[in-house]
Chain A
């Protein structure tokens, strides 16, 4: 018995080794389409952008030369860039709490009333499904200073409207409100699914423990149980808010006087309006760094979700 085993063993291990290399080859083959696509469409362009950010290349130019960190130095000294960065952060700071708050409120209201749930859910989700640039045109009409619905309604109450999108004080705010309008439906859907996962026995326990008021129920059961979902919604809406572009491009082009300038619009203008590709690439690198940081934070927080079990 042991004799046959010792004879068979080397053969078996050779077979196993051959088997293993074959398995590895199949593995590589299986991931190759995705890997090739990733390299061609993501890593390649990203590397190219980083490379260009150190050159003075202009779109269509035959030659370029390396100018070191000159583009970044120019960025650092460029007031519109800082304006765009600050505006983008402001935009995120308005849109994220707005989206999360409104999404949560809508989800709680929808789940609280038994009737027409599906209808309300669909209605609130519609803006998420729509094309932002098309919706931006609609909003542009609504916010038009003389014929827009908003100012007409205000006029009916005797309030003189302003030119929302052409006023330095309101342009960014108006864009942020449009951003909230577009995004909160998605947050709502995530919150609704989170609410469904809250065990009823926890509400029962809270009721017996004396926490049966609206605020206590929210504070002791609902909000803590929605914690992981909320974190996810915050990260998601933050990364969506950072890439705000369509509404800005269509409605304000970053104006007036850079009051609604944001990173992606700055990037687009520099790269494709003024054809300063190298400079645009440097902007892109900055933008990429922010997005990567957000993505890493997201991965970290999603890992941490396991702490409720």
Chain B
């Protein structure tokens, strides 16, 4: 069993704090994604879990066992790196076999020239060969075992790196932006492969990415990090529907959530305005949480500036009349078309309007106020 527990992890580089007291529980067998902009500390947190770096304060335990100060190899974790970090002088087979060899062979057995002469090695090598070949078949690299990493494509290298990580059956998989060196098409394909690998292995995955769509599509739970702090942890749909912080709302979802400053919200007659909490400074709603109306009898209203036709949806960009903001509203292609320059009104689903206070924290939901 390998749940991971982080308690109050702190890390600083010189004077710069990187992690400011991160606490997180990752359940056994869970696929958790750490998502955040670059420099937010997500990779550092992963390296602390792996043992490649030591925290300045706080505790890490893996499988209920404290691992603070333990070396990476003693933590039963495997890691996949952004650059794949394959050994360029070794064949694919030897790359995948290395974690098994370092663990199963003794120091003397591993030595070149002398090693093969030591009794017992041949048997271990045979079982290693079986395991490496199993992993290679599972990842569809069996025909590449004799090649060197330099002769492989990016996607193949990524598979070999996965193979090297999974071959010794670790209870925790750590992945540090493993797909960001791949082209877009391959990235989408590898996403599904990694999630199906997770299902087959059934072990804990911790996956670091700056790409919110990877986080949303792959994970059971997503932890959003920013500036060394966890802003919110929850299932993807919860982060999307119910962000507790404006920065989370902004990070999750494509196209981005619409944010309007309260001062620019001149909807004096509508129920919405009356129901806003006093401390609310900004309002936010998803592109699908509003419908457009003409004539623009519903306030607020604005002018259509751009139409983005994706085939399945048309995103209409509306420049608000009373503020600098432009909001994006999703419409179905079979709905009536809006033309550029026409004035439209915004009818927002009150249940899906989110309010945020001065500090960007969620406040006063409509239902709660109404209730």
Contacts and interface: CB of A to CB of B under 8 A. Distances in A.
B328 to A, nearest CB: 39
A220 B78 contact: no
Interface string A97-135: 000000000000000000000000000000000000000
A307 B88 CA distance: 9
B99 A210 contact: yes
Contact of B79 (A208, A212, A227): A208
Interface stretch (B69-77, B190-198, B215-223, B312-320): B69-77
B159 interface: no
A216 B101 CA distance: 11
A209 B99 contact: yes
Interface string B54-78: 0000000000000000011100011
Contacts of A213: 107
Given A308-B89, A308-B150, A201 B99 contact: no
A224 B87 contact: yes
B164 interface: yes
B77 A208 contact: yes
Contacts of A308: 88-89, 150
Contacts of A307: 148, 150
Given A219-B112, A307-B150, A308-B150, A207 B87 contact: no
B102 A309 contact: no
Given A208-B52, A309-B150, A199 B83 contact: yes
Contacts of A208: 50, 52, 72-73, 77-79, 99
Which of A201, A202, A216 has the largest count of B CB atoms less than 10 A from its CB? A201
A155 interface: no
14 contacts: A199-B85, A201-B81, A205-B87, A208-B50, A208-B73, A209-B99, A209-B102, A210-B102, A212-B72, A213-B107, A216-B110, A221-B87, A227-B89, A308-B150
Interface of A: 199, 201-202, 204-205, 207-213, 215-216, 219-221, 224-225, 227, 307-309
Counting from the closest, the 10 A-B pairs by CB-CB distance are A210-B102, A205-B85, A210-B73, A224-B89, A201-B85, A209-B99, A309-B150, A208-B79, A208-B72, A308-B88
